[in-house]
Amino acid sequence: MPATALALVLFAAVIHATWNLILKKAQADPVCFSWLAASGGALMIGPVALALHWEQLTGLGTAEWVAVLASGVLHVAYFIVLQIGYKAGDLSVVYPVARGVGPLLSAMAAIVLLGEQATMGSVAGLALIVGGTFTIAGGVAIVRGNWSPRARASLIWGALTGVLIAGYTVNDGRAVRLLGVAPLLFYWLSDASRSLLLVPAVLRRRALLRATLAASWRPALAVALLSPIGYILVLQAMTIAPISHVAPAREVSMLIAAFLGARMLSEGELARRLAGAALIAAGVVSLALAG
């Protein structure tokens, strides 16, 4: 992986773990919060995206618009499932499970469906990241079945989130890498489509929307700002490095999330989760060297 792409991914990882902590602490209605974040993000980045990429926007074809719609649908499902997972479980379990399942499926799909080359280094890196995820999520306790209902719910919702991550990663990576849509333009279109898709549900929740806005406008604004920045950096990295390398390398964010969950949210088991994070870090190095 080129050094520039790795730098973009690592910076994005810090941003991603940060806004997930904010999302976890907000504990707001998933639909209303998702709409506020999507709408806020679209409003903030829209003028810049239009100013820089208006000519490309007017020339988008059917394939590009299908990718935009697919991204909107997948991101709607992702944000809602993720928030439900955070209500049912711990950040330090839901987050790593989601981020572990996602790259596994993303890398496999990129290699099988998009024809990207699998190398020994990339395979070893992916194996280390998945192994680290397993350790953070519970390790041997998962195999023995010796874990709480909360941990089980965390794993289930985390895995569902990971499937959605894999879906939007491959779809969005294809849009910017193979179809050539500018990352900033694509994210803005995806954010705008997510906002529009949620309008019918929000209109049925007017009272809840007002309550969510009053109680959670600050975290919604923070997510609206940080989420686009982090993901646009990842999309930019996908234009210069294979998706099968970028997707797993993003999971260094689990180093940060494991620490934040254990320390700031008092979720405990810091030693085991940091051990898993060390495996993930080794996997990131392997992926970087594989490129």
The residue behind tokens 């898993």 is 276
User: Residue 205: how many CB atoms within 10 A of its CB?
Assistant: 16
Judge contact between 27 and 268, C-beta under 8 A.
Answer: no
Of 41, 4, 27, residue with least CA distance to 221: 41
Judge contact between 102 and 162, C-beta under 8 A.
Answer: yes
pLDDT at 291: 58
| Token code pair at residue 82 | 């993720």
Is the full-model pTM beyond 0.85?
A: no
> 232 Cβ partners below 8 Å, 6+ apart?
45, 183, 184, 187
| Token code pair at residue 107 | 């890398």
- For 7, 65, 124, the CA distances from 131, given in Å and listed in that order, are 23, 37, 10
| Token code pair at residue 125 | 């890196």
From the DSSP assignment, how many helices (H) and strands (E) are in the chain?
12, 0
Judge contact between 199 and 81, C-beta under 8 A.
Answer: no
| Burial call 254-278: b when 16+ CB within 10 Å, e when fewer | bbbbbbbbbeeeebebeebbeebbe
| Token code pair at residue 2 | 């080129």
pLDDT one digit per residue (tens) for the chain, 291 residues: 788 988 998 899 899 889 989 998 887 899 999 999 999 999 999 999 999 999 999 999 999 999 999 999 999 999 999 999 998 888 877 887 887 777 677 667 767 777 777 788 778 878 887 787 778 767 776 667 666 787 788 888 988 998 998 888 889 989 988 999 999 999 999 999 999 999 999 999 999 999 999 999 999 999 999 988 988 898 888 888 887 778 777 777 877 877 787 777 777 777 877 787 778 778 777 776 765
